[in-house]
Amino acid sequence: VSVLLISGSTRGASTNTSLLRTAARLDPTLVLYDALAALPHFNPDDDTADLPQPVADLRKAVAGAEAIVFCTPEYAGTLPGSFKNLLDWLVGGMEIADKPVAWINVAADAHRGGGAISTLETVLGYVQARVVDEACVRIPVARDAVNADGLIEDAGVRSTLLDAIAELRSHASRS
């Protein structure tokens, strides 16, 4: 099952991106989407057959994936604007409809991040993605857990991460 990993953060030392990069390093079959910052602002006028190249690339990556993992920070109680922008570009194409998806939340404090999770679930429902609840997990990651290579070495984090992705894959292969 091909899995696309999408981080909602554009920050260089992002804990969210580092978690997904770690997954891709541990399992090279996983594909890390890395062009969030290159997407133009969503404008319905530009959602035509002649899409901006970064949008065409995004839609192709989503269409080609059999499952998707999202890992996003919370900004001001909801999703970061740049990540919501990515999701807005997916509304028109509907490549994500019926696709098994999961979220992983890395907020270091378990009481945080709930606004991002609930907004993400609202949007995923709107685009008719299939959220696999059993694969959605909180994996707290502190900023100092990210090493100089942008990877997370903690064995517990790594095993929970791979278990969640395996759960998503198992659901996707059964559907």
Residues at the interface with ligand FMN (CB under 6 A): 9, 11, 14-16, 73-77, 107, 112-113
CB of 47 to ligand FMN, least distance (A): 28
CB of 41 to ligand FMN, least distance (A): 18
66: Cα within 13 Å, side-chain hemisphere: 14
DSSP letter at 69? Answer: E
| Segments of the chain assigned E as strands | 3-7, 31-33, 67-71, 100-105, 130-131, 137-138
| Segments of 54-116 assigned E as strands | 67-71, 100-105
* Closer residue to ligand FMN, CB minimum distance, 73 or 93: 73
Whole-angstrom distance, CA of residue 144 vs CA of residue 129 = 33
* Closer residue to ligand FMN, CB minimum distance, 16 or 22: 16
* Closer residue to ligand FMN, CB minimum distance, 157 or 172: 157
CB of 157 to ligand FMN, least distance (A): 14
Q: Which of 31, 49, 37 is nearest to 92 (CA)?
A: 49
CB of 6 to ligand FMN, least distance (A): 12
* Closer residue to ligand FMN, CB minimum distance, 68 or 172: 68
